[in-house]
Structures are given as C-alpha cells and as structure tokens.
C-alpha cells in the first residue's frame, strides 16, 4: 500500500448521522493505542475511529445492528450500486414507502448478515442510508416507536400511532440543509464519497453479532506470531448515563464489556 494512498484515506467520515459516534475522540484513541498490527472495533457504529486512522495489517469491525453492517459491507463491495439507490430528492411518500419496505425486509436481511460474512443487499443499504439521513428522531427501520408499519385494506402503511395528532405520516427533516448524503452545505459527491469508503474498507472484515465473537485469539492474532493488538471497546452506555449527542445503554452490555476489558488488559 502506497503511503500517499493510506494518507488520502485518513479523515473519511460516515455518510450518515450516528448517536455515539467516536470521530471526535479518534485522535486520542489512536494515540492511546499506538502502533498496532491488529485493530478491532467490536461496537463499530459509524466507524468513527477506524476511518480516522491509516490502515493496519489486520482490521476487524463488528456490530449487532444488521442495517449498519449491511451498509458497510455493501459500500465496501458495491459502492456505485449503493450510491445509486440512495440518490435522488427527499420526498415524504418515498420516506414512508421505503421505511415500510425496509421494515418488512429486516428479518430476512438480519438472518443473511449473521449467516454469511460476505452477504449484503445494495438496495437495502442505499435506501437505509437515504432514509436515515432524512428521518427525524429515532425509530428508523425499527418497526417500533410512534411511527410503525401497520396493515391496512390497501396494504402496509407507515403511520403515527396514537398521540394528540392522531394518525399521520412521518415528515422528513425540513429544518436544516440536509444531513449525510443529503447535505446541501457540503455539496457531497456521493459516488466519489462511497468509492473512497470502499477503497478504505477493502481489507476490513465486517462482522454482525455479539461483541465476544471478534475477541477470540484466532480473530485478533490473525496467524501472526507476536502481534500488537489494539481493541476499542465502546459499548452502549449503561442505563442512567446519558449525555447530549450520545446514546443510552442496552441490557447490561456495558457491564459485560467492562468485565471483558479487565480480562484483556495486560
């Protein structure tokens, strides 16, 4: 790998907003890790640290979010196809229809992600990132929350269930110049952006599942005799620990990670 090529990749950002992203802390994390042969992010999210680093010999990322994993796999393997599916203006009807389509496709896609480490769906990835950048608040592709896909006589519809406003569709974000792939302020070239991400991620292994699966000796050592290994453990925060711009925890994962970190520490 040419030095100029590696330096060109440093500083890439995810093309979508993500609560709990680590890009602002990337420099401090990298300084703490130092030079390593293996870099592992068991809670990958928006790859806020990996995309700020030059590539190393062996890189592994993981997340339990099937939509997220599908996007990173798809943009690595087929960046132009994903960019094509997320191109176009933001419309209210497309936001509703694509959300309903994605919620129905979710179980199939998640099973695919878990069963095959190379599998991806470029259309789902493109529509997922397109909607994530247009959606207001939480609930995108979860199938829960106030905005749900409900059965009607005319087929599935995305509706707001309950509340003083009754039933209505979810409006797209209208109060800013656009986020991620819709950013007008950046004038983003989505095809070029995704091509750069694909180049950076070409040799990155993208896993979907429990964080413990990527912390085994076989994964981290990668066949090397005495590798220097850097692992970034940044799980969802425990319940009750909330800060602006970050997310709160899930089912005691933070405690599990703390115990695992003690075992990994030299």
- Angstrom distance (rounded) from CA 77 to CA 82: 9
What are the φ/ψ torsions at residue 116 (nearest 5 degrees)?
A: -130, 115
Q: Which of these, 213, 183, 245, lies nearest to 23 by C-alpha position?
A: 245
- Angstrom distance (rounded) from CA 251 to CA 144: 18
pLDDT in tens, 2-37: 444 444 545 688 999 887 778 888 889 989 999 999
CATH number at 1-64+209-266: 3.40.50.150
Whether the per-residue pLDDT at 44 is higher than 70: the answer is yes
Whether the per-residue pLDDT at 253 is higher than 60: the answer is yes
């Amino acid at each position: 790998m040419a030095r100029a090529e590696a330096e060109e990749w440093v500083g890439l950002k995810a093309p979508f907003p993500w609560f709990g992203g680590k890009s602002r802390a990337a420099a401090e994390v990298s300084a703490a890790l130092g030079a390593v042969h293996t870099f592992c992010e068991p809670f990958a999210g928006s790859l806020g640290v990996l995309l700020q680093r030059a590539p190393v010999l062996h890189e592994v990322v993981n997340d339990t979010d099937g939509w997220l994993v599908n996007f990173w796999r798809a943009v690595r393997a087929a960046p132009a196809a994903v960019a094509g599916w997320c191109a176009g203006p933001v419309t209210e009807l497309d936001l509703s229809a694509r959300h309903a389509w994605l919620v129905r496709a979710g179980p199939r896609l998640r099973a695919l992600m878990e069963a095959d480490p190379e599998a991806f769906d470029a259309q789902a990835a493109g529509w997922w990132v397109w909607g994530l950048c247009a959606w207001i608040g939480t609930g995108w592709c979860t199938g829960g929350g106030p905005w749900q896909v409900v059965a009607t006589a005319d087929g599935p519809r995305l509706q707001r269930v309950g509340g003083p406003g009754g039933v209505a569709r979810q409006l797209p974000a209208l109060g800013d110049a656009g986020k991620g792939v819709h950013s007008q302020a950046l004038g983003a070239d989505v095809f070029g952006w995704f091509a750069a991400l694909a180049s950076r991620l070409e040799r990155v292994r993208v896993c979907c599942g429990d964080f413990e699966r990527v912390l085994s000796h076989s994964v981290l050592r990668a066949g090397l005799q005495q590798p220097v290994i850097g692992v970034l453990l940044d799980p969802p925060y425990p319940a009750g620990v909330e800060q602006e711009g970050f997310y709160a925890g899930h089912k005691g994962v933070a405690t599990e990670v703390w115990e695992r970190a003690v075992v990994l520490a030299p």
